[in-house]
Each structure stands twice: as structure tokens, then as C-alpha cells.
Amino acid sequence: MISAAEDKKRLEQYFIDNIDKAIANEWIKAYHQPLIRAASGLVSDEEAFARWKDPDGSYYTASEFVPVLEKEKIAYKLDLYMVERVLKKMKGQSKHGLFIVPESVNLSSSSFHNCDMVKEILKRIDASGIPRSKLSVELSEKAIASDPDFMKEQVDNLRQEGIKVWLDSYGNGYSSLLLLLKIQFDLLKIDKKFVDQIGKNENGQIILTELIRTAMAIGLDTVAEGVENKMQADFLMEIGCTKLQGYYFIEPISLAQIIERNKNGIQIGFENPEEVEYFDIVGKVNLYDLSFPKDDDSTLNKYFDTMPMAIFEMDNSKANLVRCNKSFREFVAKNFPKVKNTRFFDYDSFKPGPGFYSFNSVRQCALDGKRIILDDRLKDGRILHLLINRIAVNPVTGAAAVSIVVLSIDDSVVKAGLNYNYIARALSEDYINLYMVNMDDDTFTEYKADGINRDISFNKYGDNFFDIYRDEFDYEMMPEDKEQLNKVLTKENVIDNLKKEGVYSIFTKVVIDKVPTYVNIKMVQIRGDGNYIIVGINNVDKQIKTREALEKAKEEKIIYSRLGALSEDYIYIFTVDPLTSSYKKYNPSNTVSDLGLPEEGDDFFGEVIKRASEGIFEDDVEFFLTSFTKENVFKQIESKGLYENHHRLKISGVPIYVVMRANLVNEDGNDKLIVGIFNINNKVKKDREYAENLYAAESKANIDELTGVKNKNAYSETVATLNELIERGSMTPFAIAVFDINGLKEVNDTQGHQAGDEFIRKGRDIICRFFKHSPVYRIGGDEFVVIVQGYDFLNIDSIMTKIHKHNVKNRLKGDIVVAAGYSKYAGDPSVATVFERADKEMYANKNELKQI
């Protein structure tokens, strides 16, 4: 038996003997594991791994064969081969339209001793046409420490030629810091043993944080290898680790797999080279770098042990949370719980309220790049002090990365009251412009009120304030509004009102964004030296229109109540805004249905659909929901002039028939959807009774009372229909069978008419038994006709033969005999022609039967 040691020795010799063959035949494959940049979430770099796979299927990892090659001083063969494989892979990647990112190759220290490694690498990369910046070299801390002076020279040579050098497994040895003092690297790869401490060992996390902070302080990128879970990834991103690598993201894969993942749309995605510098800057910001001593700021220390800090990417329409620390997450969860797990914020979703002023300041900083320190008020009254700073601008998308730091949170103002800064901003929110006017000479100073940002700023000086026809007048107005304002806004009127009332206030309309808008002009005297007044132009469009809407709603309620009084059929009337779907309900009948729709709401269609299963009879729900959509309602109104839907509405669980009708009306230039629900329960019942009675009458008119089969009237109607089909040339095959019951007169004469009636019914039974799939008609006392189609038509010869045998048998034993004859339709001009042939056949059969 071969011992483990002997087996190992044989395997090592196999590697030595076959390395050239393995390279020549490409048994050694390159696999590529991405490095994910924390700031972008995209692949910023890759690392190449060697895997040896023999033709017989044997598989060996680098840890098995690389030490053997190093020991034999032939590792340079593998290293240069891997350089070639990576360059070839980059070309293949480019052909498939994928961005090329830098990729690192692990080199053995022995390779530099056994060949001019720098020269050989440069020769290969230059021949490939790939930029030198796309290839990186990884050297282990152990390899560097084995001969620091020699390796420093090699590292310097590589970097001078434009090839970046990474220090692998940083922190694994005892000379790490000394190596950084002596040799300049481009990137440090943090050893996996430190990553494994995250979430398990607080001291380990502190050391890891300091390792990364040290690397950032001397201008180096950092990569954490061996990332296996989300907790590790989140912590590393918070402390400023610029790049992450590990099975949490993906294992090393081949070029074919890279292309396949991209084809299937499941790729992580490669960084655009033009955005690299932007993401590099954003990724290097340490979210724990603005920490402070415990006794430095007791107000913030009460809440966080590190200043809350985040980085947002701001584009034209939304903000994207790129990175934040734990303190910031806690701050958001406590003060803005509705958005605590949100990473994307549409600008339109932000409304005035706590945080609104700060949010708009962040947007402004993203645009102009000016650093801002501001105060804002939280919902509970505390004052928030923020530092806002633009970090970088993406050259491709134009988006700006902005950092936000919570410098302090002040409780004292909650007890002491509001500060002046906040009051001034709050009062100016709805103002368009503010003026300070000198009443002695009509000169004025204009201030712009930024309602969104709650800010006031100087705009300009001017003359002749009360002359609204001056060239410098700031507002566009409709001619009739301007003429009216000119009459009332005079200096004399203002002075008179200020003396009497202490305030002058008028309403008018100005054009804002091409829309006539209600404004209030309010003037008050300034106390103190000088003859000055303050004039505020306030946007009151919402308030005025809301008041008008309330008045209109009152009028509508009265109108619809009167309509309800005039007719008991109205159950509900709704007025719906076609654009917003907001609605109001009028209930002239005071009916409470199971639909339970509120008196008013923001989504008429949504509310009705949501409650349909409770308020509409179950058999009608599916049909109703299919028809009642906002799109379908307006489509029917457009095409038919009216939307209508019949269903059963439940009232206290009892279904009643209703009709819903909807149409558009235009009031004061605005469209409005009017929806009415009417009670048609009594009408439906009457219509149903009428239909039932009509059906009964029609049935009675077409059914033979004695035999229960169809009568001569029904036969005439059917013949008329068949003649129409014959005339149109669309008649399908049919036949006419005519029957006559022999001996009826004798039975009537000898046994009476009651016996004769029973005789007829027995004859009917014989005919119906043989013609199960065709209508039977009684057209005379003892005469019957069958219009034969379908299955019976296909088998008519057989059926008529069976009837004849039955007649012969009954004739011999003295029972009922029904003479029969038939004829098939053969392009005849009418049914009568076919009937005549069948009738002739029947009489021939009648005579034949008498002879038996």
C-alpha cells in the first residue's frame, strides 16, 4: 500500500514533469473572481485564479501545485501563463461589449529571481494592445518579507511602468506596518481572519477599522477578502473599505460563465471606466471618521457614539442612499420611521414638514457644490444641526454625491421656545415676494421668498412702488385684473386703511407658470424711525379655490337632494374628478348599502372595486369588475356617449336590481364625472313576469293539447323558416316524414271519442320512439309530420324500415298501425314540394298495409 507521504511525493513530481505540457495544452484554466466597489455595487476589478484540470478529469487547486513550482523555481512559467490568459480573457470580454476592468495576477516571489519578470510582463501586455493600467500584480506579505530590498525594487519597477501592485493578506504577518513604511503599494487586501471577526469580536472590529483608516490615510485602496455574509459587507462599507471580495457576491467563474450571466441578465455589472474616479472618491469616505470624545458634545452623545453620517447620490429626479453608518440608520428610524428601510427617494414624494428644508438644502448643495451648515426642526421640536458637503460629480450621469453629517441635536429649544431663524423661514413659506417701501418717496427694496427652502434673500431696489404699469413691475396679470388692481392699490387708499385698520389687505390674481393664481397683498406699518411699510405678496390660490370648492359642494348637495326628492329611483349620486379620481357621495334616498362607500375619498374606482365583493351580489361580482375599470368607463363614454352597468346591489344582505350610469359634464371649464346608481328592482320584476307570461302564451300557441307535441301552427312557423333558408341557398340536409294512424274513425264510431284520443296518443308514442332527435308535429286529427335532421336524417332509411316491420307485426296481431312515407330535400323550391312527395309515399304505404 502506498503511504500518504509517497502519494504526495508522486503528485508533486507529476506537477514538475507536466507543467510545460499543462501550459501548452491549456489544462490550467483561469477563473475570475470580482471585486465589488462599495460605492457603486459594481465590479471594479477582478482577481485571476489558476485551476489545473487533467484530461482524465483530475482537478487540482493552486494551493496544491503552486508551492511545488515555487520550490522547484519554475513558478514563473505559471505566472507568465496566467498573465497571458488574463490578457486573452480581456480581449474576449471586449468583443462581447463588456467593460474591461483591471484584473490582478498572483505572482510568486521566486518568479522575480528566476527571470526578468517585469520585462516579460511588459512584453506580453504591450503586445496584446491592452493598456498597462488594466493589469495588476498581487504579492503576498510573506513573499515581500522574504527579501524586502529586492522586492521593493521589483515593486517600484512595476509601478513606474504603469502596473499597479497590491499587497495580499495584509495583517497576516508581524511586519505589515514596516512594509508600508518601506514600500509603496496601490492597494491593500485585508486578510480574511480580520473579516471573520465582524459581529463576533468587538476588538477585532476596532483593529479592522484602524487598519482601513491607516490605509486610507496614506492614500491606499483597501479590499476585504473572504466576505461571506451581509453583516460583514455592511460593516466593511460603513468603515470605508473601498472594495469587497468573497462568496457572498460570487465564486470565481470562467469567461464563458461571465458572458452567459451577462446574456441572461444576472450579471453584477462592470464599472464604466469613465466613472471610476467618481466612485473611488465616494468609496474612500470613512463614515466613522467624524467621531468625537465622550465629553465633547453631550447633546449628541445622548443619542449616538458616532456622528450620524450618510452619502446620497442626487440626480435630476431622485436621491439614492449610497452609504450610511449605523448611527445614521438609528437616527432615521427614530425620527423618520416611514422611510427607515428606503434607499431611493423621488423628489416629488417629499412634502413640506420635518426634514423638508434640509432635503432641499441637500439638493442645492448637489447643484452648486457649496458646503452648508444649517439648523432645522424635527417633529418633536428639537433643533438639528447639519453639515452638508458635495463630494464628487459623476462625469457620465451628472449625478452628485453629497455627504450629510448630523453635528448635533439640541433639546433646549423645546423648552425655551422657537428660535428666530426657524420662525422667519416658517412665516415666509407661502410668500412670493416681500417689499420694504419708503412711503415718503415710494422707493422700495425687494426680497425674494424661497418658499420651498424657507429662505429670504435680497433681490433688488426700485422706484414708484404704487405704479403697477411701470416697466419693472414684477408680475404678469390679465388685463382686467390689472385694471381693477390699479384702481384700488393707490397710495391714498393704503395710508387711509393703515390709519383706520392698522393693515391693508386685498386679493387679486397674477399669472404664475402661465396659470392665473390668487394672491393676497398685505401691508403693515413698520414701527420705529422712518416712514416704512412691509408688503407681502402671498400665494393663496389653494385657500381661495378650496373655499370655492366648498361653496360649490354645498350647492351640489342641495341640487342632488332635490333630485332625490323628485324621484325615489335615485340611490346614490357621485361626483368624481376624472384626473385624480377623488369623489363625493350624495345619498338623497338615505340608503345604507353593503358597499359601505365613505362620503368622500381620493380614489373612487379603487374604493368601489375594493368593496365590490361585500356590496354586490356574488353572482354579479365577476361581470361587474370586468366592466368597471376607470379605463373602460371613459372608453364607453367616448364611444357610446354613456357608461351603463346592470347588477344587483346588496342592502342588508338582500340583492336589489340597480343600474349604474356615468357621463362627463363640463363645469366652469373643468370636466367632472357624474355617476348615478338607480333602483330598477320593480321594473326588472315586472319585465320578468311579462317575459314569463309571454313565453307561456307562445308555448300554449305552439303545443298540441291532446298529444303534447308541437301543433300545426308551430309546423307552419318552422316551414316558413326553412323556406327562407332555401331561398338564401343556405339550407342544410333534411327530410319530411308524414304519418297517418289507420282505423281512427272506426275506434271513434264503435268505442267513443275518449278511446279515440287514447288511440291517437298511442300512435304519437310510436312515432316519437323512432324519431328521438327530431321535432314531431300533429297537423290533423290522425296526421303527424316529422322534420328529420341531424342524426335521424343520417339513419332515416334504417328508421323507416324499422317502422314498417313494426307496422306489419301490429297489423297481424290487430294492434295500432301508423302508415308512413318520407322524402329527402333535393334542392326543391320549397318545403311543400318535399311534403307532397312524402305524403304520396305515405298513402302508398297505407294501401300496402291494408293488403296484409
Q: What confidence tens digit (pLDDT) does each residue in 696-705 have?
A: 545 556 888 8
Q: Does pTM surpass 0.75?
A: no
pLDDT score for 589:
74
Q: Each residue of 653-677: pLDDT tens digit?
A: 999 899 899 988 877 678 889 898 8
Separation between Cα atoms, residue 728 and residue 619, nearest integer Å? 41
Q: Mention every residue, 6+ apart, whose C-beta is less than 8 A from residue 49.
A: 30, 31, 32, 33, 62, 106, 252
DSSP 348: G
Separation between Cα atoms, residue 714 and residue 720, nearest integer Å? 10
Whether the per-residue pLDDT at 841 is higher than 80: the answer is yes
Q: Left (φ > 0), alpha (ψ -120 to 50) or beta: where does 137 sit?
A: beta
pLDDT score for 528:
62
How is the chain split into domains, by residue range?
Answer: 4-282, 287-423, 428-539, 565-686, 703-850
For Cα atoms 60, 66, 70, give the angle at the middle one, nearest 5 degrees.
155
Average pLDDT over the chain reads 84
Separation between Cα atoms, residue 161 and residue 118, nearest integer Å? 9
Closest by Cα among 89, 102, 171 to 134: 102
Q: How confident is the model at residue 798 (pLDDT cuts 50, 70, 90)?
A: very high
Q: In this structure, are residues 578 and 666 in contact, taking their beta carbons and an 8 Å threshold?
A: no
Query: Looking at domain 428-539, does it have CATH number 3.40.720?
Result: no
pLDDT score for 281:
86
Mean pLDDT of 456-478: 80
Q: Mention every residue, 6+ apart, whose C-beta is less than 8 A from residue 771.
A: 737, 786, 788, 792, 799
| Assigned fold of 565-686 | Beta-Lactamase (3.30.450)
Whether the per-residue pLDDT at 14 is higher than 80: the answer is yes
Indicate the angle between helix axes 604-615 and 618-627, nearest 10 degrees. 160
Mean pLDDT of 51-65: 90
Whether the per-residue pLDDT at 23 is higher than 90: the answer is yes
Q: Which long-range contacts (CB under 8 A, 24 or more apart) does 843-848 make?
A: 843/740, 843/819, 845/804, 845/819, 845/820, 845/821, 846/740, 846/742, 846/819
pLDDT score for 693:
54
Query: Looking at domain 4-282, does it have CATH number 3.20.20.450?
Result: yes
Q: Each residue of 411-433: pLDDT tens digit?
A: 654 444 444 445 445 545 567 77
Separation between Cα atoms, residue 698 and residue 710, nearest integer Å? 12
Whether the per-residue pLDDT at 511 is higher than 60: the answer is yes
Q: Each residue of 245-299: pLDDT tens digit?
A: 999 999 999 999 999 998 888 889 899 999 989 998 888 777 765 543 334 444 4
pLDDT score for 547:
65
Owner of C-alpha cell 357621495: 585
Mean pLDDT of 482-489: 86
Return the CA Rg of the chain: 48
Question: Across 18-78, where does the E strand assignment appear?
Answer: 28-37, 43-53, 59-61
Q: In this structure, are residues 777 and 815 in contact, taking their beta carbons and an 8 Å threshold?
A: no
pLDDT score for 176:
65
Mean pLDDT of 163-179: 79
Whether the per-residue pLDDT at 781 is higher than 60: the answer is yes
- Give per-residue burial for 603-641: e unless 16+ CB within 10 Å, then b: ebeebbeebbeebbbeebbeebeebbebeebeebbeeee
Whether the per-residue pLDDT at 410 is higher than 60: the answer is yes
Q: Each residue of 539-593: pLDDT tens digit?
A: 877 777 766 655 555 555 545 444 444 344 778 888 899 899 999 988 877 888 8
Q: What does the DSSP assignment read for 660-683?
A: EEEEEEEETTEEEEEEEEEE-HHH
pLDDT score for 177:
73
pLDDT score for 417:
43
| Assigned fold of 703-850 | Alpha-Beta Plaits (3.30.70)
Element (H, E) at 615: helix 604-615
Q: Each residue of 73-105: pLDDT tens digit?
A: 999 999 999 999 999 999 999 999 899 999 999
Q: What percent of the chain has pLDDT over 70?
A: 88
Give φ, ψ of 462 to 5 degrees.
Answer: -160, 170
CATH of domain 287-423: 3.30.450.20
Separation between Cα atoms, residue 570 and residue 578, nearest integer Å? 22
pLDDT score for 432:
74
pLDDT score for 548:
60
pLDDT score for 722:
92
Domains 4-282 and 703-850 share a fold: no
Give φ, ψ of 788 to 5 degrees.
Answer: -95, 125
